[in-house]
Chains A and B, each alone.
Chain A
């Protein structure tokens, strides 16, 4: 019915419903219909290593086991905390996934509403609910600095090729920065240094697809 037929399948901007002419196996952002493969979102296609994926340009964070994220407490329960991670649903942190000894009903004393943590997604079940853990690696509660939110699809841009962009920002602002895969980013340092780093990150978020972004950020950081 539609005039849209085949599109070359790597690094092309595709829209929902677009047919992907490829022998690769379907990955994310893809659906199957009558034996053929179509994109389900607006995004750039990536046809590599036998898999065809479409990286959506927008969308809430989709938790994956092992992702390092920043989470903000939005509710406390007797033995759990409900955490906002920018996904469709809030996540759960069970007291047994923290290294604290939490008496039943006393959770708010350890992590209160509004408190933030650097943690890891440790479980995602078939129904889509997910849990985080404060026990892995350098997971910890955050006590200073601030949190900036960007579109999760722009996280790679904020990091840059082999970390080049984020190193540029860190060095020029003397700040500590930890980037959550969920697009929540922690910045710590002196007040005005944090403000400059925040401005750089928010600029990247706004103009992620435009040309000359690196130059623009370099210029901004020279302030």
Chain B
């Protein structure tokens, strides 16, 4: 977050990419795209492109991580070297490790882990093209992949970010807005209860701006949730 306000990211209520402040970028979700994984999802969000794959429940490796009374969710988020303009070295870095960890925590809230003692549910998220909001895209894709794998859950988890550019609170920052904006707030919720399972804030917001940002991101999540449902219905040839 540069926080610079001399770059005009929003003019007369219209953003650089033509969107209104409360508009999401275009999202496309396809479930069941991989053959090996028990469940999978391919998601495009603006120019973000993410694959998510799930294996399990299965025996927990390494053994010492296994829990006697429930399953653990082992989520891993990585970005391909070519996913960013400035090639990224392969492997996990601190940012990816942090995201992997908080995503694991969030899913352990909704996945019915008590049904599978000593097991592990492996969630792998691969970002192959990144344009801001990748952790939200990855988490959303992972939710769909978990459902596609038949893993029992209390609900799916849509994730969406809001932020602030040129003193205006907006939904779903694109790359320029993320680089030059003043705040970035990724959010993930449980649609049926509204509970927040992931929330981070980078930048600065007044209390009023925070409430507005929260509301915008929540609405974004609900819109996303509708698309997630459609993706799963389509992959099973039915309508729910």
Contact = CB atoms under 8 A, between A and B. Distances in A.
Interface of A: 1-4, 7, 12-19, 29, 31, 33, 38, 40-44, 56-60, 88-90, 127-128, 153, 209-210
B59 A90 contact: yes
Contact of A42 (B56, B58, B236): B236
A210 B237 contact: yes
Ranked nearest first, the 10 interchain pairs of A and B with the lowest CB-CB distance are A59-B150, A58-B150, A17-B155, A13-B238, A40-B152, A1-B194, A16-B153, A88-B57, A2-B191, A56-B150
Interface string B97-128: 00000000000000010001111000000000
A43 B240 CA distance: 10
Given A13-B233, A60-B58, 9 more contacts: A14-B240, A15-B233, A15-B240, A38-B154, A42-B147, A43-B150, A58-B150, A89-B119, A128-B118
Interface SS of chain A: helix, strand, loop or mixed?
A: loop
B192 A40 contact: no
A1 B56 contact: no
B117 A127 contact: yes
Nearest to A45: B240
16 contacts: A15-B240, A16-B155, A17-B191, A17-B192, A31-B112, A40-B154, A41-B150, A42-B147, A56-B152, A58-B38, A59-B150, A59-B151, A88-B58, A127-B118, A128-B117, A209-B238
Contact of A16 (B118, B154, B193): B154
Contact of B236 (A57, A59, A127): A57
A153 B39 CA distance: 14
Q: How large is the interface on B (under 10, 10 to 19, 20 to 34, 35 or more residues)?
A: 35 or more
A42 B232 contact: yes
Contacts of B117: 127-128
Contact of A209 (B152, B194, B236): B236
Given A4-B192, A57-B150, A58-B39, A16 B57 contact: no
B148 interface: yes
A41 B155 CA distance: 9
A58 B38 CA distance: 8
B193 A1 contact: yes
Contacts of A57: 150, 236
Interface string B47-59: 0000000001111
Nearest to B54: A58
B153 A17 contact: yes
Given A56-B150, A58-B39, A90-B59, A209 B191 contact: no
B237 A209 contact: yes
Nearest to A28: B152
Nearest to B31: A42
Contacts of A58: 38-39, 148-150
B228 to A, nearest CB: 8
Given A1-B193, A2-B192, A127-B117, A40 B59 contact: no
A89 B233 CA distance: 29
A3 B223 CA distance: 11
Contacts of B149: 58-59
Contacts of A4: 191-192
B236 A12 contact: no
Contact of A2 (B225, B232, B236, B238): B225
B4 to A, nearest CB: 37
Contacts of A127: 117-118
